[in-house]
Every structure is written in C-alpha cells, then in structure tokens.
Amino acid sequence: MAAGQPEITLAVWGADGPAVVGSTLSVHVGARSRSGGSLAGQTVIVRGAAGHEVGSGKLGGNIWPGTLALWWTSVEVPVPAEPGLHVWHASVGTSHFAFSVAAVPAPAHTLTVTVFNTTNAEIEPLPGTHVRAGHHAATTDESGGAVLALPPGRHTVEAWKQGYGSVKGIAVVGSDTEISLVTEVIADKDPQYVREHWR
C-alpha cells in the first residue's frame, strides 16, 4: 500500500443516469480496509452537496463478487426535484467517495436513432455507436438503432464510434420519433488504416 492511502477506501456503483427528478436512486457502496479485514456493520452515510445526510446503511457481511475484501451495502438516495447534475458523497468514517447523477424530467416519448456507415459509398447499419442527446445516452444494436427516452422538445443528437467521425443531428420530439444519421471511417494518422478500411 502506498503512503497517502487512507485506512479505508470506498467505491460507489450503480449511479447510472439519467434519473427522473423526484425519483429514488439505489446505489451500492463498498468499503475496503487497508488490511483487508472485515468492515461488516460499519455505517455508510450519503450526504448531498451541502453536507446534509440523504441516506445511510450498514455494510453487510459479504464481500462483493470479484473483489478480495470489499464489504458493501445498498443505499437509497432521493433524486432532487431540480433537473441537472447532482453530486453526493458516500462516507465510512472519515473516508469518502463522490458520485453523481443527472436528474431529468420524466420522458414522454422515444427517439429512435439509426446510424449508418457510408464508408466506401455503401450504406450499412453501424452497431456499437454511442448516441447521446444531452444527459440521455444509448448504444446502437446490430441493426444500427438506439432508443432514447426523451422529454418533448428540440434535442441535439450526437453519434460517435471509435474510428468513425462524430456526427450531429437535430430531433424535434413531440411524439415517438425516428431519425437517421450517417458517418464514415475517419482517416487515422496511421497510413496503414487505408488498407484496413477502404477497398
């Protein structure tokens, strides 16, 4: 263990956003002691940005699968009514770890984004493309499609995949809506890529 490492260190997971305003977020909080000894029964406190306690729990008697000595519990955290980014701190004793989530209005419609690869002047669905509209994100499936649950309004949609150019589009969502975007392989600075991607 390096100098400067606290006696207890934490992990927080399950803070997957966006979360609907006013809902409840269930996160996992795990703690590990420097020695690897049991921390079962120790209190976990979650505080908001202003320092007020919003949730708590006690570490259970089992370690998280795949870890050597991470004792964990679940904590329910109320999501504020105000949209936007919210940050909390989980703590065990004097150790802490910050986590966050974006709060959004309840979605009303779905936006289906289909991404096509037009490299080599062909049009093929592009799976594995990350699609984002503000706080909302999804990844395209084998058909090149991704579904975002969005509130009504005008949304800027961005699509990106490793090795391909980033592309943006505008979607006006007043009902369930579909749009398509096209992208293509970007020429890496490795000249070798010409051989690998272009026919």
Partner 1 sequence: MSSSANNEDLSYDVVVVGGGPGGLIAALTARHLGASVLLIEQNFDVGGRGVLSGGGAYLGGGTSLQRAEGIEDSPERLFQDWVRADSLLGRYNDREVVWAYANNSAATFEFMTEVGNVKWRPLGAADRLDTVKRRAFSLEWEEPAGQVVPGQFGSGIVRPLEKAARELGVHILLKHRMVSLHRDRDAQGAKGRVSKLAIVEVDDYFTPTGEVISVKARQGVILATGGHSGNVGFRRMFDPRLTEEYQYTGQNWAPKTADGEVAAMAVGASIWGFAGQTNESDGQLSKGLMGTRSNYHGLLWSVDSPHFFREKATGLKPSDYQNLVLVRESGVRFYDETAGVRDYDYFAAAMSWSGDPEKLNGGGPIWAIFDAEAVEREGWNVTPPNVDTDGFFFSADTIEELAGQIQMEYQWRPMPPGNLRATIERYNRCVDEGVDPDHQKPTPRFKIQRPPFYAAWHTPVVHDSYAGLRINGSAQVIDTEEAPIPGLFATGDCASGFTQHGLGRAFTFGYIAARAAVSTGQARTGSGPTSNKDGV
13 binds partner 1 (CB under 8 A): yes
Q: Per CB under 8 A, which region of 107-115, 141-149, 174-182, 188-196 contacts partner 1? A: 188-196
When binding is defined by CB under 8 A, the residue of 35, 50, 61, 66 that contacts partner 1 is 66
109 binds partner 1 (CB under 8 A): no
The 3-class SS string of the chain reads CCCCCCCEEEEEECCCCCEECCCEEEEEEEEEECCCCCCCCCEEEEEECCCCEEEEEECCCCECCCCCCCEEEEEEEECCCCCEEEEEEEEECCEEEEEEEEEECCCCEEEEEEEEECHHHCCEECCCCEEEECCEEEECCCCCEEEEEECCEEEEEEEECCCECCEEEEEEECCCEEEEEEECECCCCCCHHHHHHCC
25 binds partner 1 (CB under 8 A): no
121 binds partner 1 (CB under 8 A): no
Token digits for 99? 């986590």
Task: Quote the least distance from Cβ 143 to partner 1, whole Å.
Answer: 19
Residues facing residue 131 across a β-bridge: 138, 159
Token digits for 95? 């150790």
Task: Quote the least distance from Cβ 96 to partner 1, whole Å.
Answer: 9
Task: Quote the least distance from Cβ 10 to partner 1, whole Å.
Answer: 6
**Residue 51 or 191 having the CB closest to partner 1:** 191
When binding is defined by CB under 8 A, the residue of 35, 94, 162, 175 that contacts partner 1 is 162
Task: Quote the least distance from Cβ 144 to partner 1, whole Å.
Answer: 16
Provide the residue type at 28 as one letter: H
160 binds partner 1 (CB under 8 A): yes
Residues facing residue 153 across a β-bridge: 173
**Total number of residues binding partner 1 (CB under 8 A)?**
58
**Residue 54 or 103 having the CB closest to partner 1:** 103
Binding site for partner 1 (CB under 8 A): 1-6, 9-18, 30-32, 64, 66-70, 85, 87, 97-102, 128, 130-132, 134-135, 137, 139, 158-163, 166, 188-195, 198-199
